Amino acid sequence: MAQSMAKLPVVIILDMAKGYGWEPGSFGYEMVAKVRRLKDAAYAANVQVIHVNSMRRPTDHLEGNPTMMVGTEALDVIPELQPTNKDIIIYKRYLSGFSHNDLDYTLRTMGCDLVIIAGASTDNTVLWTSADAHQCRYRVVVVEDCTMVHRENEPPGAKEGALRIIRTVLKGEVIPLDQVISKYLVRRG
């Protein structure tokens, strides 16, 4: 299908950072292995991976006790997804992967036309990143089994509700990892 051809797909992995508590045995940890597979498939296909992690500054005047403070280890990509020396690392200043940073400029100058989005949380960073990508006119693919609502005790439909919006409103493709790999992560020159 012509529509499935992407000139230049890019994989965007959201908030898989130490500060968010991705520890063996912790809530949702089983997704990490899946995201590892996504990264490896991207490398094999010669597709660029971009990690986008949160970053706050002490001057931000955020309420409460904000984490993910600049200069701390919390901002680092978790060890399971290392090394990152093949990846682009971008920091987002608030919720969306595009918030107040060079993600759009970087995708645009690369010639990217389609983003493959993974990470957490589906109803937060993944949702806003999908919306901003769509509004900057990148095609949006979300990897269904590489995203989750990374907060315990959420109502059961939280993830599905966000994915429904991505499908219905943003016309995004929400498909499982195997399908993402066979459709978009095929070897490129």
Residue ranges in contact with a copy of itself by CB under 8 A: 48, 57, 59-61, 88, 93-96, 99-102, 104-106, 108-111, 121, 123-124, 127-128, 131, 134-135, 137, 154-155, 157-158, 161-162, 164-165, 168-170
Give the nearer residue to a copy of itself in terms of CB position, either 39 or 125. Answer: 125
Reply yes or no: is the peptide bond before residue 66 cis, omega within 30 of 0: no
Q: How far is CA 12 from the centre of its chain?
A: 4
Give the nearer residue to a copy of itself in terms of CB position, either 25 or 155. Answer: 155
Give the nearer residue to a copy of itself in terms of CB position, either 122 or 177. Answer: 122
Question: CB of residue 68 vs a copy of itself: minimum separation in angstroms?
Answer: 13
Give the nearer residue to a copy of itself in terms of CB position, either 39 or 159. Answer: 159
Rounded CA-CA distance 4/14 in Å is 23
Question: CB of residue 133 vs a copy of itself: minimum separation in angstroms?
Answer: 12
Give the nearer residue to a copy of itself in terms of CB position, either 28 or 161. Answer: 161
Find where tokens 């706050």 sit. 56
Question: CB of residue 47 vs a copy of itself: minimum separation in angstroms?
Answer: 12
Question: CB of residue 95 vs a copy of itself: minimum separation in angstroms?
Answer: 6
Rounded CA-CA distance 161/168 in Å is 10
Find where tokens 């968010």 sit. 20
Question: CB of residue 119 vs a copy of itself: minimum separation in angstroms?
Answer: 15
